[in-house]
A and B are shown apart, each in its own frame.
Chain A
Amino acid sequence: MSRIARRVLPGFRLSLGYTVFYLSLLVLIPLVACFLKAAELSWAEFLQAAWSARARSAYWLTFECALVAALVNLVLGLVVAWALVRYQFPFKTMIDALVDVPLALPTAVTGLVYASLYVQDGWLGQFLVPLGLEAAYTKLGIVLVLIFTGFPFVVRAVQPVLAELNIEEEEAAAVMGGSRWQTFRWVIFPNLFPALLAGFTLAFARGVGEYGSVVFISSNMPFKTEIAPVLIVSRLEEFAYREAAAVAVVMLGFSFLLLTLISLVERWSKNHEE
């Protein structure tokens, strides 16, 4: 009725105001508080707290596991999204709903279940451990629970884009003599790339911050299987708030750097395409 008269939607100021207000309240102010807490330390104290050998191995482990898990999810998520969008099969709706379960399940439950499945006496562990595949209390276990918690992100990011893809383009590619691989590489993949990257980023970020499930499946050994969030908690238990904040600040710094890098890749790919 009035769609033509009001081409520009109203409410720019209102929505921007809301955005800034809520972002500050929910995200910025807590982050600033964290930085201020860490800033109470002198530079030397900061380095000692946040850049000790133990902290460094915790950062490395955290980002390594989150990255590996996100990379696995990239492939796994694409395959699942593909199956859900392109094919019809029984119980499809149920399987589709199952994808979201990792988001709803309390992460501590995830950690406990995975740990009890993969220990030597567990359902899966009794077959895997004799083969030398020890998941419970190892790095592999951490990666496994991170795959679980990050899994929905890639699927849900890719699914709608895949559904929107024009099959005719693929048919055109085939008619023009493109092989299956070429069709995927030059027709489907460029369209999916931004969605894949977005899903990857979400899964990765989720993995970096994950605590609840990891703490139950990791043996939490300093230098070996202690992730940075566990280190933060263990510093808090000693009432060392500032030192804990210092570790958090370094984590935030790394995360910010990596997320910026990913968005640069996305921008680059967009420009490249055109």
Chain B
Amino acid sequence: MLQRLLLIAGGMYLLGATCWVVWSARVHDSGQAVSLLNAACDPTRELWREINSRFTEHLLRERGETVKIRQSHGGSSSQARAVIDGLDADVVTLALWSDTEAIHQKGLIDEGWEERLPNRSLPFVSTIVFVVRKGNPLQIADWPDLVREGVRVITPNPKTSGNGKWSLLAAYGSVLLRGGSSAEADAFLERLFAGVPVLDTSARAATMTFSQKRIGDVHLTWENEAYLEVAEAKGALEIVRPPISVLAEPHVAVVSANTRRRGTVHVADAYMRYLYGEEAQEIIARNYYRPTSPEAWAKYENFFGELELFPVSRLAPGAIDSAEVWRELGNRFFAEGALFDRIYLKLHGGVKVP
């Protein structure tokens, strides 16, 4: 009797386990409500949360359609990798042109994606600014101040973070575009990274290192992240704008292979176009991103203040299009064995490996 009971229990356990595995692996499709997944980069959580709820209302009002927008956040490159590996994102809003392009290369985003939406698929742009401790005790005002003796700089790892890549490009350009030679710009980066005590893997981790753990004297970060960080610190931190910085272009794109398969082509398109409208541009500006519509920019220009922004194409003068620009930047700075790796080889490579 007992044996039979045990046998039955065991059988039910196995059956239950099998059913559970099959059920949870099954693709859920609730059918009625259209849903969109936006795979975004790390520091844009607050922005998308606000835009999504307003867009949902907007779509219901204008077209009587209901849509549910889900968000996924992570490092820009890891998000791109997730989409390539099969994350069902309908749109991607990543920090780097090269990440969006990598998805295109796999055939998931249509040819010519950069030109499909207004303003080269840029509803907003941003830049890299400095955050310093209250009262700016080390008197940091410009890029050369970052390589002074004893100044410690926090910026995430350019290999793994969009923020890190933009910081490096901004620092490099600050030398090159003020008449420095490329050798001088290389040397500047080397001195800069010699003063970096921690290489966090993502933008938010670097923010925590700087503001919560109070490591370092200057934090190189996205402009919007800087505002959030300063607000969060309640007076312990302040923003410093260098006179020149990089024009960071976080492109948006529809992952057309996914929208076609999921039947969300129109909603995804409406979502992307909504970003350029007055309402969204307002939200963008209030989240400290730089809106690209002329009207919104005219309204908020004074808020963002004087700051010369250079596009990264100026760091690769020979290149004719974005693809060539980013290929050249990748090869020169970020690829295996390129400048960033060489800097670390030089800084710490002497450490003996037994």
Contact = CB atoms under 8 A, between A and B. Distances in A.
A, B bound: yes
Interface of A: 2, 49, 53-54, 56-57, 60, 112, 115-116, 119-122, 136-137, 215-216, 219-224, 230, 233-234, 236-240, 243
A219 B208 CA distance: 13
A141 B75 CA distance: 24
B344 A234 contact: no
A116 B208 CA distance: 10
Given A215-B201, A223-B348, A234-B160, A243 B336 contact: yes
Contact of A239 (B102, B199, B214): B102
A121 B214 CA distance: 7
Contacts of A49: 336
A237 B98 CA distance: 12
B180 interface: no
B191 interface: no
Given A237-B160, A239-B77, 11 more contacts: A49-B336, A53-B349, A57-B351, A121-B213, A136-B215, A137-B197, A137-B198, A219-B199, A222-B345, A237-B75, A237-B81
Interface of B: 3, 75, 77-78, 80-81, 84, 102, 157, 159-160, 197-201, 205, 208, 212-215, 334-336, 341, 344-345, 347-349, 351, 353-354
Nearest to A118: B213
Contacts of B205: 216
Nearest to B354: A60
A119 B351 CA distance: 24
A96 to B, nearest CB: 29
Contacts of B200: 220
Contacts of A2: 3
Nearest to B78: A237
Contact of B336 (A120, A219, A240): A240
Most chain-A CB neighbours within 10 Å: which of B84, B198, B348? Answer: B198
A237 B160 CA distance: 6
A222 B341 CA distance: 8
B159 A219 contact: no
Contacts of A239: 77, 80-81, 84, 102
A136 B213 CA distance: 10
Nearest to B2: A1
Contacts of A221: 199, 344, 348
B213 A223 contact: no
A94 to B, nearest CB: 30
B288 to A, nearest CB: 26
Nearest to A121: B214
13 contacts: A54-B345, A57-B353, A119-B214, A121-B214, A137-B215, A221-B199, A221-B348, A222-B344, A222-B345, A223-B345, A233-B160, A237-B77, A239-B81
B335 A238 contact: yes
Contacts of A120: 214-215
Contact of B198 (A122, A220, A223): A220
A54 B334 CA distance: 15
B199 A220 contact: yes
B281 to A, nearest CB: 31
Nearest to B1: A1
B213 A115 contact: yes
Contacts of B80: 239
Given A119-B215, A238-B334, A233 B201 contact: yes
B353 A56 contact: yes
Nearest to A112: B208
Most chain-B CB neighbours within 10 Å: which of A2, A121, A230, A239? Answer: A239
Nearest to B351: A223
A32 B344 CA distance: 33
Contacts of B351: 57, 223-224
Contacts of A136: 213, 215
A56 B199 CA distance: 19
Contact of A234 (B84, B157, B348, B353): B157
10 closest pairs, A vs B, by CB?
A223-B348, A237-B77, A219-B198, A222-B344, A220-B199, A119-B213, A237-B160, A234-B159, A224-B348, A57-B353
Contacts of B157: 220, 234
